[in-house]
A and B are shown apart, each in its own frame.
Chain A
Amino acid sequence: MEKKELDRVLDTLIIDGIRKEAEQDNADFENAMLHISDENFHKVVKRVPRIKVRKFRPWIYSMTAAAAIICAVIIPSYNAMNDRLCESALVAYGDYITPAKGAFDISTATVEQIEARLPEMEAEYIKAISDEDLRDTGWNLSIAYLKLHDKSKAIDILKILSERFKGTPFGTECGNMLKLLD
């Protein structure tokens, strides 16, 4: 066999072997990830799941209910001033602003309480990595800005959220709230 031909055969054999071995490791990994217990998995990744700041009520996904509330508020408040717009958005989305048990209750917090908590909320938002954390911290922060009548900052956050969650009910809600504030 010519050297060139031998090289070609050996290369193919080697590449095929590498691929098969990696494929086996890959399948073993997937199987192990599927069957490893939660306790053992968290020991490996050295971290426990984050405690959620707040959960959305399931019925936020009811588009009909959301659309009805938005329509009832968007039209009368369309040309209002910033403060009024912020308040309108808060009224429209009041039912969605629901804190998790024991978490900071943005729905009932006073302006002073929000101002005191704001740096922490901003830090939580910046540090949020998973979609769920980003959704929760981003939503809370935009509500906080609205309560402080800081419309532009609320819009900045809502723009990011609506873009990031585009195509989901939550993304649509953020987009609708943006329209309301526009």
Chain B
Amino acid sequence: MEQDEYTLIVSRFYENLARPFMNFIRSKFQSLQADEIEDIYSQVWMDVRENIKKGKVEKNTTWKSYIFRMGMNQANNLVSRRPSIHSIDVRTDDSDTFNPIIFEVEKKQMGNSELTIYSDPETQEVLARELSCIPEPCNSVLKYYYYESMSMREIAAAMNYSGESTAKVTKKRCQDRLKDRVLKVIRQLGIID
């Protein structure tokens, strides 16, 4: 891969995550100014790069949630040093969070079953095509939930939703639409009746 490609990947990631990061930090630290949150964002990126370069990261780190959590810690450090403003608890809320371990067990059980559709290459192809063009905000919401293991409350904060119920409804709607699209195509292709 060339330098231009690395720059493009990093740049896209940086730009795409900026707004959710600002929303996320502002929802927890309302006393912070926009330029302070921008400073935190840049600093987090410097730290992330340093940690990656020094190999100070765990295997299979999910980078978006890592960046959010680093931002929370840095914002908390900043706020806690100000007089008469109490720092907040930066522990993440683990309620209503996707559990990848349970999912992997269920997936394995399904893989062992007789259901041909599950391992059908044509279905996989349809799915890959549909997944490559999920529109926003669905793309972010589904990945935050199913890959970054963020809670609904955290997703609501990042997406600037009024509350976790909005995040829940959005996630369900996005998944249902995606499922409908996949189902429609695999029916058209005659993979199922």
User: What is the interface of chain A, defined by CB distance below 8 A to chain B?
Assistant: 1, 5-19, 21-23, 26, 28-37, 40-41, 43-47, 49, 125-127, 129-130, 134, 160, 164
Contact = CB atoms under 8 A, between A and B. Distances in A.
B9 A32 contact: yes
Contacts of B117: 1, 6, 9
Q: Is the interface of B mostly helix, strand, loop or mixed?
A: helix
B192 A6 contact: yes
Given A35-B1, A126-B81, A26 B63 contact: yes
A1 to B, nearest CB: 7
Contacts of A17: 127-128, 131
Interface in B92-120: 100, 103, 106-107, 110, 115, 117-118
Given A8-B110, A14-B182, 7 more contacts: A1-B115, A10-B183, A21-B143, A32-B5, A35-B1, A36-B6, A36-B49
Interface centre among B74, B127, B182 (most CB of A within 10 A): B127
B72 to A, nearest CB: 13
A57 B140 CA distance: 46
8 nearest CB pairs, A to B: A22-B147, A32-B9, A32-B6, A36-B6, A129-B43, A40-B7, A22-B143, A47-B42
Q: Is the interface of A mostly helix, strand, loop or mixed?
A: helix
B74 A129 contact: yes
B10 A36 contact: yes
A22 to B, nearest CB: 4
Contacts of A37: 3
B186 to A, nearest CB: 9
B122 interface: no
B147 A26 contact: yes
B142 A18 contact: yes
Interface string B39-68: 110110111110011000100011100000
22 contacts: A1-B117, A6-B117, A7-B179, A9-B118, A12-B118, A13-B118, A15-B103, A15-B146, A16-B103, A19-B147, A21-B143, A22-B147, A31-B1, A32-B1, A32-B9, A36-B3, A36-B7, A36-B10, A36-B49, A43-B7, A126-B78, A129-B39
A7 B36 CA distance: 46
